[in-house]
């Protein structure tokens, strides 16, 4: 799998790094126009981040349910195979789905000592920090997606005893298959449980890092347009 393959005639790195950087410059130079264009997008993205946070919370609740099921299994002598792996997958999903939501709420660690000099310095240091963070997060997201694809290509399976319904795997495969090929995809379906393909739990890593990269670029654009960092810490009263 080529790291930076062509997409619509342009290398992937142009789409991931060059175009977002040009959009940042556009936000700095034409802030009033870009504010009108991007404001509906910001509202939509805020909803996406909130949904991601809710999904993270649901996976956290799932961890609790798995732990309770483990306790019940021990008391009754029932074998709960793969419970440790399921809890690990839920923990990973909790962490990755929370990334973008936590960023918007100011829950990530930030070192702000250099932002206290004056307003001008604070603004441009914040923009620089967001830009560097966006580039790094985009790089990580690209290779998280590559890891997903490589796991699928190598048919990488769990080393534990956890299994998933084969139907779940086929449903997920439908999202990366053309609708005209769905019938052929389901022709090979067998109603059974299979050892977990690693690309299934790794989906949370890909989705979470993609959302984090989008969130960082998003907050960079907001600051370039408004001059104010939209990442605010929640104040508990």
Sketch the domain layout of the chain as residue ranges: 11-109+119-226
pTM metric for this prediction? 0.90
CA distance 237 to 230: 20
> Which of 96, 90, 154, 131 lies closest to 222, judged by CA?
131
User: SS3 of 77, please?
Assistant: coil
**What is the per-residue pLDDT for 1?**
45
**What is the per-residue pLDDT for 188?**
84
- Regions in the chain scoring below 70 on pLDDT: 1-4, 233-237
**What is the per-residue pLDDT for 132?**
95
Model confidence pLDDT, tens digit, residues 198-222:
999 999 999 999 999 999 999 999 9
Pairing outcome for strands 6-7 and 163-165: unpaired
**What is the per-residue pLDDT for 71?**
92
């Amino acid at each position: 799998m080529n790291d930076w393959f062509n997409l619509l005639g342009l290398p992937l790195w142009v789409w991931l790094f060059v175009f977002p950087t040009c959009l940042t410059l556009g936000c700095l130079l034409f802030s009033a126009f870009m504010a009108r264009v991007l404001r509906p997008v910001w509202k939509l993205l805020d909803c996406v981040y909130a949904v991601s946070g809710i999904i993270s919370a649901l996976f956290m609740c799932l961890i609790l349910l798995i732990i309770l099921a483990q306790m019940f299994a021990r008391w009754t002598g029932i074998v709960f195979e793969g419970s440790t792996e399921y809890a690990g997958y839920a923990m990973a999903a909790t962490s990755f789905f929370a990334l973008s939501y936590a960023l918007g709420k100011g829950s990530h660690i930030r070192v702000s000592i250099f932002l206290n000099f004056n307003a001008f310095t604070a603004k441009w240091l914040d923009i620089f920090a967001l830009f560097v963070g966006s580039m790094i997060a985009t790089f990580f997201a690209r290779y998280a997606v590559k890891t997903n694809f490589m796991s699928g290509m190598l048919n990488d399976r769990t080393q534990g005893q956890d299994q998933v319904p084969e139907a779940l795997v086929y449903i997920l495969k439908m999202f990366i298959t053309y609708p005209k090929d769905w019938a052929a995809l389901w022709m090979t379906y067998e109603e059974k449980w299979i050892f977990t393909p690693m690309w299934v739990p790794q989906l949370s890593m890909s989705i979470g890092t993609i959302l984090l990269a989008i969130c960082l670029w998003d907050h960079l654009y907001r600051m370039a347009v408004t001059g104010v960092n939209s990442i605010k810490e929640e104040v508990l009263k």
